[in-house]
């Protein structure tokens, strides 16, 4: 089972935007960035043994692409808007490559489930296309358990309308971390084997119904703190304007999470980690870059980070220009992060705090151990997630993200 993204304790969600009429096949929906001061970064993910091998959906021919804009909170949380029902009821969701279910809060939620009352809730009586399923589902998170029932209705996403999906209506959200989150729910973009209850994931349903030509999508996460938007999720392909060619494609080794083989990690010229190769997961639902405790501890020492509470590390902001690069060898190509890339800088009322973008996380066998390349990595490199087909396996393409405002 996959777990939810790294979350922040946030204030109430921002207003939702109304979808504009489509003018072309590529649809871009701008969302606002929320800038609020320092909050704790709490990892909630946990990992369990996969019960069965994944089954990959067959892609349809064609070359359609769709764009779903992403909003970013303090460079550690990205989310966008979808609609459920007829007429669409708007929800803000995290697009998470580490899970495969879609769920949102329900008007039928438990009276004592506080997150329900502070977020947009799905009302089946307000939708003419709603179909009851009633099957119970539950997802175990690191700090709580989400439970509810499965339902069926129409999904609106990035200009696509009329897609029939099975989704979860959350009836009980005991984890307080959801209470102040800016997003309402989660839309998983992992492989079908991760889906709780055997539900067909939203991406597969779009392809099955001919609304998306192929099971390919890409993320461009805008980490510019001065920008108004957080980036874009592109469904059906990628936008070359988002990255500097070429794309380096790395095969997926276990098609459940987006897991690949990482050959080595280098910190400056003096420290080598993952020396014999190791597993790594590309996960948009994880804010930081995580790895085994001993290796991350050595990395933090090499970049001069000082331990704080709950696994966080502090870095003196004035030292950023002198810190060593951290490089990842993937598919025979080095992907370099400068300190500007891997240090999270938070400024409020003229006061700045700098935190390391790395965190220790020991994932036990049989799923682990592995590294997680989360948003700190994906903010610097565009990732193209390609599920492949019966002839070619799944793969991930990586290329340096093109800075906003630049041209090809």
Phi, psi (deg, nearest 5) at residue 194: -80, -15
- Phi and psi at 109, nearest 5°, equal -65, 160
Helices (H) and strands (E) in the chain — how many of each?
5, 30
Tell me the Ramachandran region of residue 349: left when phi exceeds 0, alpha when psi lies from -120 to 50, beta otherwise: left
Nearest to 243 by CA among 406, 70, 73: 406
CB-CB contact of 45 with 3 (8 Å): yes
Write out the two tokens for 354: 């700098």
Residues 6+ apart with CB under 8 A from 217: 189, 203, 233, 234, 235, 236, 237, 384, 385
**In terms of Cα–Cα distance, which of 299, 346, 345, 359 is closest to 325?**
299
- Beta strand 264-267 with 333-337 is unpaired
Start-end of H helices in 31-124? 114-117
Which residues are catalytically annotated?
96, 283
Q: What is the C-alpha to C-alpha distance for residues 329 and 122, in angstroms, rounded to an integer?
A: 44
Contact 400, 244 (CB under 8 A): yes
In sequence order, the β-bridge partners of residue 94 are 186
Nearest to 381 by CA among 331, 313, 347: 331
Measured CA to CA, the distance from residue 170 to residue 172 in angstroms comes to 6
How far apart, in whole angstroms, are the C-alpha atoms of residue 220 and residue 38? 24
Beta bridge partners of 127: none
């Amino acid at each position: 089972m996959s777990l939810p993204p790294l979350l922040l304790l946030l204030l109430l969600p921002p207003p939702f935007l109304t979808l504009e009429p489509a003018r072309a096949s590529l649809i871009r929906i701008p969302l606002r960035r929320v800038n609020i001061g320092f909050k704790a970064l709490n990892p909630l993910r946990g990992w369990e043994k996969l019960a069965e091998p994944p089954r990959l959906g067959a892609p349809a021919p064609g070359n359609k692409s769709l764009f779903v804009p992403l909003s970013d909170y303090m460079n550690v949380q990205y989310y966008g808007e979808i609609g459920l029902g007829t007429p669409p009821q708007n929800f803000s969701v995290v697009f998470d490559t580490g899970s495969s279910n879609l769920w949102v809060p329900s008007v039928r939620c438990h009276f004592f489930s506080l997150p329900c009352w502070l977020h947009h809730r799905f009302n089946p009586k307000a939708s003419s296309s709603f179909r009851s399923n009633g099957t119970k589902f539950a997802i175990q998170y690191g700090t709580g358990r989400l439970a509810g029932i499965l339902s069926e209705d129409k999904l609106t996403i990035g200009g696509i309308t009329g897609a029939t999906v099975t989704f979860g209506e959350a009836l009980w959200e005991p984890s307080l971390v959801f209470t102040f989150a800016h997003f309402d729910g989660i839309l998983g973009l992992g492989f079908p084997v991760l889906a709780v209850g055997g539900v067909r994931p939203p991406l597969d349903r779009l392809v099955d119904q001919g609304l998306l030509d192929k099971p390919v999508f890409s993320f461009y996460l805008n980490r510019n703190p001065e920008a108004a938007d957080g980036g874009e999720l592109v469904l059906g392909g990628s936008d070359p304007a988002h990255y500097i060619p070429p794309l380096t494609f790395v095969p997926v080794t276990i098609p459940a999470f987006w897991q690949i083989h990482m050959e080595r990690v280098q910190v400056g010229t003096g420290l080598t980690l993952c020396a014999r190769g190791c597993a790594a997961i590309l996960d948009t639902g994880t804010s930081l870059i995580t790895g085994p405790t001993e290796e991350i501890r050595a990395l933090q020492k090499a970049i001069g980070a000082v331990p704080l509470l709950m696994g966080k590390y502090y870095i003196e902001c004035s030292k950023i220009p002198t810190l060593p690069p951290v490089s990842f060898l993937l598919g025979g190509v080095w992907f370099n992060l400068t300190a500007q890339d891997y240090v999270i800088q938070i400024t409020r009322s003229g006061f700045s705090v700098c935190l390391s973008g790395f965190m220790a996380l020991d994932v036990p066998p049989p799923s682990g151990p592995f590294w997680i390349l989360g948003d700190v990595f994906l903010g610097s490199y565009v990732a193209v997630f390609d599920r492949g087909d019966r002839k070619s396996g799944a793969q991930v393409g990586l290329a340096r993200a093109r800075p906003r405002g630049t041209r090809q």
